[in-house]
């Protein structure tokens, strides 16, 4: 890719200050397991999408919570319950009771600033992590917390808002020839996690291109705006690191603590997912170093630019020093100065001054100072 200077206004849109996270003081004093939604309301009402499938049948619809009990009796089919919207605390209390989910787990689901983690309970598996999206290098990174609960052939996902990275998984589910239709809910969990991790690679690629553009701008047009963008990019990389780094612990925990809930057929896929996670972390660390390196490059470029300016000013000053000396000598008010009454004195002085300038320019050129 050929480096090019990005449009400054377009790049500035990427780094608009994010909303300040709500302080957790409103949870102080509440008992453990108290359900408090810590994010912003992004939907008018909670949406519950249900997908049920087996080797033969596939069915998808939007349902109400009251209608879920009938679907839970279909033990032979795999159920994927996708819940979009986390603001309705009362509804989530009912969901926790319906599926037998511990209150501490429900508390983590509603806390959108929860650190990514995986927990294995006696009758279900819980995992939460960040789903990030950045379709193009010009797009800001959009992060969203997504949680998974795997229990008795049922997979429940909890999202903050509409729009996810699972469309390819949904497309595969509609094709009866796909292997995912012959597998259980644990493999569906792997497929969704794999979609999240794969999207991290897309985000990293776009972030890398953005850093290259900033590197080009730092070389060609260092200025206050560039410095602002570089600091914003470094801050974004720090946020991205906090999002990406715990993934190794989350994916690695599946193989360590979830033996009874992940089938032997799915475990090799989980291990492969762990390797992809390590690759994402390594790529993120490289781009993080690049981001810091671009800031150093900017400072060096700015220093080099200042040195060039000072060199030009020094050369100009050096050229005018002998000229000022000659002009000062002949500006003295003495009567007995022979050159003042010489017919060709003025022309000789001007010629000597011109020769001095030309001589210094030739000397500077030989020294590669020009």
What residue has token string 């020294």? 367
Q: What is the pTM of this model?
A: 0.77
Is residue 344 domain-resident?
A: yes
The answer on 111 and 201 residing in a single domain is: yes
The answer on 316 and 296 residing in a single domain is: no
pLDDT tens-digit series, residues 38-85 = 877 777 789 999 999 988 889 899 998 888 877 777 666 889 999 999
What residue has token string 């080099």? 304
Length of the chain equals: 370
Is residue 24 domain-resident?
A: no
Indicate the pLDDT class of residue 15, thresholds 50, 70 and 90.
low
The answer on 182 and 87 residing in a single domain is: yes
User: Whole domain around residue 131: which residue ranges?
Assistant: 8-17+31-301
Is residue 331 domain-resident?
A: yes
User: At residue 143, what are phi and psi to the nearest 5 degrees?
Assistant: -110, 150
Beta bridge partners of residue 82, listed in sequence order = 49, 157
Give yes or no for a contact between 39 and 77, defined as CB atoms under 8 angstroms apart.
no
pLDDT value of position 26: 57
Indicate the pLDDT class of residue 147, thresholds 50, 70 and 90.
very high
The answer on 297 and 326 residing in a single domain is: no
The answer on 296 and 323 residing in a single domain is: no
User: Which distant-in-sequence residues (6+ apart) come within 8 Å of 115 by Cβ?
Assistant: 246
Q: Which helix (H) or strand (E) segment is 48 a member of?
A: strand 47-53
| Better-predicted residue by pLDDT, 310 or 30 | 310
Give yes or no for a contact between 132 and 125, defined as CB atoms under 8 angstroms apart.
no
The answer on 228 and 320 residing in a single domain is: no
pLDDT tens-digit series, residues 276-295 = 999 999 988 888 888 778 87
DSSP assignment of 310-343:
HHHHHHHHHHHHHHHHHHHHTTS--S--GGGG-T
The answer on 347 and 282 residing in a single domain is: no
Give yes or no for a contact between 188 and 195, defined as CB atoms under 8 angstroms apart.
no
Is residue 87 domain-resident?
A: yes
- DSSP designation for 115: P
Is residue 170 domain-resident?
A: yes
User: Which distant-in-sequence residues (6+ apart) come within 8 Å of 308 by Cβ?
Assistant: none
CATH of residue 319: 1.20.58.340
Task: Specify the number of domains making up the chain.
Answer: 2
The answer on 332 and 232 residing in a single domain is: no
CATH of residue 198: 3.30.460.20
Q: Cα 244 from chain centroid?
A: 9
CA distances to 161, 235, 238, 281 from 38, in Å = 14, 23, 22, 28
What residue has token string 């193009």? 136
The two tokens of residue 144 are 């969203």
pLDDT value of position 20: 47
């Amino acid at each position: 890719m050929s480096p090019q200077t990005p449009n400054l206004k377009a790049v500035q849109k990427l780094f608009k200050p994010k909303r300040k996270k709500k302080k957790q003081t409103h949870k102080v004093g509440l008992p453990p397991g108290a359900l408090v939604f810590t994010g912003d309301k992004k939907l008018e009402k909670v949406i519950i999408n249900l997908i049920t499938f087996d080797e033969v049948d596939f069915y998808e619809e939007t349902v109400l919570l009251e209608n879920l009990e009938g679907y839970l009796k279909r033990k032979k089919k795999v159920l994927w319950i996708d819940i979009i919207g986390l603001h309705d605390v009362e509804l989530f209390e009912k969901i926790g009771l319906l599926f037998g989910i511990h209150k501490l787990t429900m508390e983590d689901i509603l806390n959108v600033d929860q650190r990514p983690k995986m927990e294995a309970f006696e009758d279900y598996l819980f995992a939460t992590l960040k789903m990030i999206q950045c379709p193009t290098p010009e797009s800001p990174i959009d992060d969203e917390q997504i949680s998974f609960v795997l229990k008795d052939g049922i997979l429940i996902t909890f999202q903050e808002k509409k729009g996810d990275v699972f469309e390819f998984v949904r497309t595969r589910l509609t094709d009866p020839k796909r292997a995912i239709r012959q597998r259980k809910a644990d493999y569906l969990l792997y497929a969704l996690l794999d979609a999240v991790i794969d999207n991290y690679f897309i985000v990293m690629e776009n972030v890398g291109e953005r850093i290259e553009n900033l590197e080009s701008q730092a070389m060609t047009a260092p200025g206050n705006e560039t410095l602002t963008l570089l600091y914003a990019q470094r801050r974004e990389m720090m946020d991205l690191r906090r999002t990406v780094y715990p993934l190794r612990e989350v994916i690695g925990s599946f193989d360590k603590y979830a033996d009874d809930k992940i089938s032997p057929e799915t475990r090799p896929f989980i291990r492969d997912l762990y390797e992809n996670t390590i690759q994402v972390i390594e790529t993120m660390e490289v781009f993080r170093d690049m981001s810091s390196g671009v800031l150093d490059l900017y400072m060096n470029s700015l220093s080099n630019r200042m040195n060039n300016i000072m060199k030009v000013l020094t050369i100009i000053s050096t050229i005018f020093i002998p000229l000022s000396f000659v002009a000062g000598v002949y500006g003295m008010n003495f009567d007995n100065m022979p050159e003042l009454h010489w017919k060709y004195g003025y022309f000789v002085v001007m010629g000597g001054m011109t020769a001095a300038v030309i001589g210094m320019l030739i000397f500077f050129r030989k020294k590669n100072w020009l």
